[in-house]
Structure formats: C-alpha cells, structure tokens
Amino acid sequence: MIQQQTLLTRQVVVILLLLALISSLISAASLANTNIPFPKDFRFGAATAAYQIEGAYKEDGRGLSIWDTWSHIPGKIYNNQTGDIADDHYHKVKEDIALMKSLGVKNYRMSISWPRILPTGLLKHGINQKGIDYYNMEINELVRNGINVAVTLYHWDLPQYLQDTYGGWLNSKETVQAFRDFSDICFAHFGDRVKDWITFNEPFITSVLGHGCNDWAPGLGCGSSPAGNSSNMPYMAAHSQLLAHAHAVKVYRDKYQQDQQGRIGITLNSNFYYPLTNTKEDYEACERALLFGFGWFADPVFFGDYPQVMKDFVEGNRLPLFTEQEKRLLKGSVDFIGLNHYTSNYIGNRKSPLPPVNQRTFNDDQRTEGSSYKNGVPIGPKAESDWLFVYPPGIRSMLNWIQKRYNPQMIYVTENGVDAPGESSMPISQALNDTFRVNYLHDYLTEVSNAVMQDGVNVKAYFVWSMMDNFEWTNGYSCRFGVVFVDYNSPNLTRYVKNSAKWYSELVKPYN
C-alpha cells in the first residue's frame, strides 16, 4: 500500500512537472521570436519625456510650463489628471535607471525640462542651479550604468512665462532667442556626455494641435485674436520652431561639436498613407499628406525651404517666408533625422468645397480626406487609442519614403510603440502579459529590419515608446504605452516589468 502511494505520488509529481513544462513552453511560444536581423552596430533603446514622467513640478526652483497650466484647466485632460507627480521619476531616477540596466537598455532618449533649467525660459532671469545639478546627476548615473544618452531639448514644455509675455512660438524673435540660449546652456553643461541631441520633438503637433483649435497646450487658434487664428497660427508656430532649431544647431556646430563629437538632429512624426481608391488623385493626395506633415519640417532642414506643394496650396500669404540667410541656416541643419511612427491611414483627395481662404485650417489646405477604414474594414487591429491601428508595413514604407526623398546620413526611429487595448482596466497580473504589444513590436521591428537589411535604408537606431507608462498628454493615465507597468494606485508608484520588456530585453542582447 505504501509502495502504491509512493508510486502514485511520483506519478503526480511527474505529471505536475510535465504540466509546468508545457505551460512554460506555451507561455514562451505565445511571445514572438526575437531573431530579427540588424547590423551589429545597430542601437536599441527606450524613450521618455520629462513632463510625462518626472513630476516634482514645483520643486527645486522649477518654473511652470504650458502643460502645467493646461493640465490644471478643468476638462482639458482625462479625469482632470495632471503631470504634477506623473511617475515621480524625479525622485525615483536611480531606481528607474537600475531597472533599465537590468533589462539591457543601452540607449535612453530623455528630455530636459526647459523650465527646470530656466524657470521663466529666459537666461537674463538666471539659471536654476538645482535643475543643472539634477540633470548632471541623472546623466552621470546613466553613463555610470553603461547607458548612452540621447537628449531632446524641446518635448512640448515651453515655459509659461514665454507664452504669457511674448506669445510663445507665435513670436519668432524672443522665443527663438530664448531657445537658442537654453540650448547653449544644455550643450555647455551636459554635452561632454550626451552624444545625440534632438532639438524638437514633433513640431507638427505643437503647431497644429497647440495652435489650430485642438485641445492641446497652449490651446490657441480658436477664433480671431491680434496674433491670428487657426488659419495662420499653425504656420507661424512651425516657422518659429524651425528657426529655433536652425539657430540651436548653429550654436552646437560652432561652439561644441568639434570637441564633444556629438550629433544633432530633429524628430518628426508621421503616419504613412495609402490611397483610399486606386486613382491618380488619391495617390497624389497621399504624397501631399506626407509633404504637408513630414515634409513641412524636413524639407527646410534638408533643402532650406518649404515643399513647393505647400507654397501652392496654402493661399492668402499665410505661409511665412524664409529670408535667403534663413534658408542657408536651415539647409543641412541635421546630422540625423528622427522619426516617430505608430500607425498608417488611408487618404483620398478632398471632394467637398473649401471654405474662404481666411477661414481655412491646416487640414483644409491639404485638400485630403483621411480614414482608418476602407470599405468599412479597418487598416489593422485597433489599439487602445482611437487614432492607432496596427499596420506594420507602414513603417517600412515611411522609412523608404524618407530615404528616397532626403537621402539622410542617418535615420533614428525615435518613437514606436502601442497602448494595448483595455490594459488600464486590467488587473496588474493580466496587464503584464501584454502579448498585443509584444506582437506589435515584433512585427514593426521586422519591417524596420526589412528596410535596413533588404532596402538599404540608413536606419541606425530604434527607441521603443515608452520605457514606462506615463502621463499621455490629453489622455492622462487612461492609456499605457510602457513596456514597464506603473501602478498609479500604489503610494510608491511601483514598477512592474511587462512581458514586452522581457521580450525586448532578449531582442537587444546580441547588440549590447
């Protein structure tokens, strides 16, 4: 009897071990493979932005930004959430860097909060030494842990004082000079360790959403004002950002680049566009949408001026002109071009009549009509965000389009990622099993690999968005893009590693 019980126990143990093995194999099989070929010197990393993760919005001398102000206006952000605390990265920075190191993240794209360095945005009002000390500490900690640093100088957090006093990006002279001074300070204090500088993140968003009557800081463009309206403000804001970029690049190249041996560029966002119908008009509309979006900023920094199609279609003298000196300053003002890409859309030629010239918006000027659906069928699976549909071939098409038009020395994919459907409402244990995100990253990275290895596109780096869940602008904390889960219900904002982080960690191992 005892022998029978012993035998039965052994059988149960064997069965349990087999079940555990099968479960492990199923779990492993459920994650996409990591055998995606890239050149040996390809750089993989993760990205964040200061306002989205730092918090500490009033600490240690930091001034207010336009996003501090905007997020405190009732009804502007989901559930009236703010970035006041965000992920509390300001206080948990060493913990977060240790987590990056444990996951094998060797390249980190961060941004520097302008009002943390210059509380009013202006050099004449003094530098906040505590801000300098904080970023020195963070950058030193990253370097000490073997992590290369890429810094974005402007990730949307314009000092509120500049907005109130000068009109922000609607005023080229003062705001451009202020950004030039801010950039100079950053190059001087951090450039010995920072080898990649990004002047602006997605100036398209700042221009169109912030100055075109969409609910985005600083919330301008609605109705008429002495400065303008949604018909001309986006073009004014874009013009100022381009000039600020050019002046910052000149400062870097003239004063710092030779000694510091770094690179400087700009990050632009774009979907890729496919024709709604197989007509010449819709194919032309797709190209026009790319030029009105990506080309609006890329043409000036590569060629020195706006795309001709914008000059032709933006009527009524609403598109500002560059002087010949400004064209020379802009032309060639990038060592690399950054691409933020998440999704693709269908585009058709506009059929509805246009409003009068002085009432036209940026979208009117393009003469296009866009949709994520064709004949009622979505272009791909929908993510949590209403605008994000999964279509991996789009990133390969986008990279090839950039290579063909601009032939850049280097392209960095500075953001790519997805918010998994329903993740914010799941129990943590379920949210960590983010197969949707793993598959997205696998499929998009496969297309990036194809662009590099098969098409010869000069992509040199890829940064997943985002290192951790964070404040997603008007969506607050309602959607999660991180490969690391942040528990906003815990007092310590506890971090948990998702399966996507584990998968990404395996992917990057051969390149570390």
Q: Look at strands 196-201 and 148-154 and give their pairing.
A: parallel
Average of per-residue pLDDT across 256-269: 98
Closest CA relative to residue 470, chosen from 90, 153, 138:
90
Q: Return the CATH number at 272.
A: 3.20.20.80
pLDDT value of position 84: 98
Closest CA relative to residue 470, chosen from 46, 51, 44:
51
What residues form DSSP beta bridges with 159?
A: 65
Q: Look at strands 43-47 and 368-371 and give their pairing.
A: unpaired
**DSSP element (H, E) containing 142:** helix 129-144
In a domain, 16, yes or no: no
Residues labelled catalytic? 202, 415
Q: In the chain, how many domains are there?
A: 1
Q: Are 266 and 302 in contact (CB under 8 A)?
A: no
Residues 6 or more apart in contact with residue 234 via CB below 8 angstroms: 207, 208, 211, 212, 221, 362
Q: Look at strands 336-340 and 411-415 and give their pairing.
A: parallel
Closest CA relative to residue 132, chosen from 178, 190, 181:
190
Q: What is the C-alpha to C-alpha distance for residues 259 and 273, in angstroms, rounded to an integer?
A: 42
Q: How confident is the model at residue 9 (pLDDT cuts 50, 70, 90)?
A: very low
In a domain, 178, yes or no: yes
Task: Tell me if the bond preceding 466 is cis, omega within 30° of 0.
Answer: yes
**25 has a pLDDT exceeding 90:** no
**23 has a pLDDT exceeding 50:** no
Q: What is the C-alpha to C-alpha distance for residues 259 and 266, in angstroms, rounded to an integer?
A: 21
What residues form DSSP beta bridges with 338?
A: 267, 412
In a domain, 196, yes or no: yes
Residue 112, both tokens: 């520097």
- Count how many residues are written for the chain: 512
DSSP state at residue 292: I
3-state secondary structure of 269: strand
In a domain, 13, yes or no: no
How many other CB atoms sit within 10 Å of the CB of residue 106?
Answer: 18
Structural domain of 82: 36-511
DSSP state at residue 352: S
Q: How confident is the model at residue 21 (pLDDT cuts 50, 70, 90)?
A: very low
**10 has a pLDDT exceeding 50:** no
DSSP one-letter string for 413-476: EEE---PPTTGGGS-HHHHT--HHHHHHHHHHHHHHHHHHHTT---EEEEEEE-SS----GGGT
The residue type of 14 is: V
The residue type of 282 is: D
Q: Are 344 and 387 in contact (CB under 8 A)?
A: no
Q: Look at strands 484-486 and 107-111 and give their pairing.
A: unpaired
Q: What is the C-alpha to C-alpha distance for residues 207 and 133, in angstroms, rounded to an integer?
A: 32
**What tens digit of pLDDT does each residue of 172-182 get?**
899 999 999 99
Structure-token match 């997205």, residue found: 440
pLDDT value of position 43: 98
**117 has a pLDDT exceeding 80:** yes
**What tens digit of pLDDT does each residue of 462-512 get?**
999 999 999 999 999 999 999 999 999 999 999 999 999 999 999 999 999
**DSSP element (H, E) containing 346:** strand 344-349
Average of per-residue pLDDT across 119-134: 98
In a domain, 28, yes or no: no
Q: Are 121 and 165 in contact (CB under 8 A)?
A: no
pLDDT value of position 223: 60
3-state SS of 7-34 is: HHHHHHHHHHHHHHHHHHHHHHHHCCCC
In a domain, 25, yes or no: no
**29 has a pLDDT exceeding 80:** no
Mean pLDDT for all residues in the chain: 93
Q: What is the C-alpha to C-alpha distance for residues 291 and 405, in angstroms, rounded to an integer?
A: 10
**15 has a pLDDT exceeding 70:** no
Helices 296-303 & 233-255 angle (0-180, nearest 10): 40
Closest CA relative to residue 269, chosen from 289, 246, 244:
289
The residue type of 368 is: T
Q: How confident is the model at residue 28 (pLDDT cuts 50, 70, 90)?
A: very low
In a domain, 27, yes or no: no
Most distant CA atoms of the chain, gap in Å: 98
Give me the helices (H) in 145-279, please: 160-166, 172-190, 203-208, 233-255, 257-260
**What tens digit of pLDDT does each residue of 332-391 get?**
999 999 999 999 999 999 999 999 999 999 999 999 999 999 999 999 999 999 999 999
In a domain, 14, yes or no: no
